[in-house]
Amino acid sequence: MSAPGKSQLTGAAMAVILLIVLVQVYLFETVLGAVLDGQRLALPGAFGVSLALTAAALFLAFKVRGRSGRG
Amino acid sequence: MPGWKDLFPVDLADEGRLSRREFARFLAVVSAGFTVGIGWLWTRRRPLDGAPAAPGTRPEALKVCRVADLAPGNSFLFTYRDDRDRCILIHTPQGEWRAYRQTCTHLGCAVRWDGRRLECPCHNGAFEVEQGFPIQGPPTRPLSRLDLEIDPDGWVWIRGDLPKPGIAQEGAQS
């Protein structure tokens, strides 16, 4: 039960956030493996992608009122 | 309503309840944690344990031991880049010399020489001695191999990192 006045997170938004976290896990594991192999060229790009994904996840999770939000 | 509920009004079932939005926020913070981790890897100057040194940062060549001091089938432990960069020099039973970082590529335990191969005691991983490829257990990547040289005076010298076998060489060259 969501409290009165709080928006309900849609299932689609939840699915997107879960997908983002899965991509982040895969991205971090890949980047860590590359760094351990001495390859650091991909780090700036990986950081940019990760930052964009995090921004999207934070936006979805913390936005005050969703499109389908209701009390 | 029973009297005890007036005294203890907290509903324990609701107390442990996690809303969908709270869970989503937790996941978003986890995602931010991964971003911070990648940023830390990016800004970190010192290579991770087990990773080859960045181009231009190799230490001077290191004199490790005399050939006569290490009989075939034995190993010798030393540090190379700094005190935490533990390495192992191996004189194989066939008379060849190999040097590897001691850090297992699985979870970073120290590998040890058992007379035939390099073994990691933590999860029963093993690496062959020729190139350091994993042959048993959870490790999937080869050990970091060091370039060595034997001078005419009979000393074994460590010269630097060799590129890992089986991966693209562009980033590992120096």
- Reported residue count of chain B is 174
User: Where in chain A are the domains?
Assistant: 28-62
Q: Which of A44-53, B26-35, B70-79, B81-90 has the lowest mean pLDDT?
A: B81-90
The answer to whether the Cα torsion of B55, B60, B65, B66 is positive or negative is positive
Q: What are the chain B neighbours of A39 within 8 Å (beta carbons)? A: 167-168, 170-172
Candidates A7, A39, A51: best to mutate against B (most CBs of B within 10 A) is A39
CATH number belonging to the domain at B62-165, selected among 2.102.10.10, 2.30.40.10, 1.10.3720.10, 3.40.449.10? 2.102.10.10
Which of B39, B139, B60 has its CA nearest to residue A35?
B39
**Cβ of A36 and B51 within 8 Å?**
yes
What pLDDT is attached to residue A3? 47
Q: How far apart are the first and last CA of chain A?
A: 10
Q: A with B: how many residue pairs have Cβ under 8 Å apart?
A: 110
pTM: 0.53
Q: pLDDT digit string (tens) for A19-47?
A: 999 999 999 999 988 887 777 888 999 99
B110: exposed, middle or buried (Cβ count in 10 Å: 0-12, 13-18, 19+): middle
Q: Could you tell me the CA-to-CA distances from B104 to B31, B79, B118, B171 in Å, in that order?
A: 28, 15, 10, 21
Which of A9, A14, A24, A37 is the mutation pick for testing B, counting most B CBs within 10 A? A37
| Mutation target among B21, B25, B104 for the A interface, most CBs of A within 10 A | B21
Q: What strand order describes the sheet that includes B134-136? A: B112-113, B118-120, B125-127, B134-136
Q: What percent of chain B has pLDDT over 70?
A: 76
Output the pLDDT for position B39. 93
Nearest to B28 among A2, A17, A39 (CB): A17
Cross-strand pairs, B62:
B158
State how far residue B159 is from chain A, nearest Cα, in angstroms: 17
Domain regions of chain B by residue span: 3-43, 62-165
Whether the Cβ atoms of residue B75 and residue B93 lie closer than 8 Å to each other: no
Mean pLDDT of A61-69: 63
3-class SS at B94? coil
Does B71 score more than 70 pLDDT? yes
Q: Which amino acid is at B5?
A: K
- Count of positions (residues) in chain A: 71
A26 CB within 8 Å of a chain B CB: no
B107 in contact with A at a CB cutoff of 8 Å? Answer: no
ipTM comes to 0.81
